[in-house]
Amino acid sequence: MIIAANFKANHTRESTAAYLEALNLFLDACPTSCDVRVYPSASSFLRADLYSHVKLGAQNFYPVINGAYTGETSSQHLDEFGIKNVLIGHSERRVILNETQDITAKKYAFAKERGWEIIYCIGEPKYIRDNGFEAVMEYLWSEFEGIDIDYEKFSVAYEPIWAIGTGVSAKIQDIAEVLDALKKRFATAPLLYGGSVKVENLSSILSIRSCSGVLIGNAALDAANFCKLIQTAQNVQK
């Protein structure tokens, strides 16, 4: 099971280091079978090999080794920290930062070429959800345009846009319906859910047959709470 924390534009380098230290200590004392991942902001990257129980990842990168791309994070920057885990296609990048499917697919191809582990995010806006399951799936399939779904180091995070950061998670039945449909096409890729996951709803989400993990924003910002989430996940029998 993958339990991933997305810091977005939260935490400083100092608080990220304190968080990771606390998390690693916790996992040392309470071993878990979960694949625990943390995605800090680029200005808080730390050496990935410092934390034996946690995989450090990048929330974003620009698909170049280096060069004249003002303000961007290149693969050289990730390599310096030994980071080989990335998020691609998060709705905050697609919607707020206007990233197109074309650039998203370019990032995916670049990450694949380097053998990085990818959590590929997809999710529909509310007006599409309001049109029902068929409309949701049509929207979600369009977010796979240009994506090599046979890449063995890729997971999918289904994150309905309207459920992210709102405190209102999608209904269990709706999550299950989408993940089951994805499962038919991606037999081996782990399928995650994201969108207002918290301690209170984690067990029922992870109990969904096709669900292999979660991507968590707000509820993972506090290290102690993230440890609670990991412990809760550990207790879910699959």
Catalytic residues, by residue number, are: 90, 159
Q: Three-class SS of residue 136?
A: helix
Q: With 0-12 CB in 10 A as exposed, 13-18 as middle and 19+ as buried, what is 221?
A: middle
Give the pairing of strands 35-39 and 55-56: parallel
Nearer to ligand PEP, 65 or 199 (CB): 199
Q: Which residues bind ligand PEP (CB under 6 A)?
A: 6, 8, 159, 164-165, 194-197, 215-219
Q: Are strands 213-216 and 55-56 parallel, antiparallel or unpaired?
A: unpaired
Please report how the helices 133-142 and 172-185 are oriented relative to each other, as an axis angle in degrees rounded to 10. 50
Beta strands in the chain (DSSP E): 2-6, 35-39, 55-56, 85-88, 117-122, 154-158, 191-194, 213-216
Encode 87-112: b = buried (16+ Cβ within 10 Å), e = exposed. bbbbbbbbeeeebeeebbbbbbebbb
Among 237, 223, 224, CA closest to 20: 223
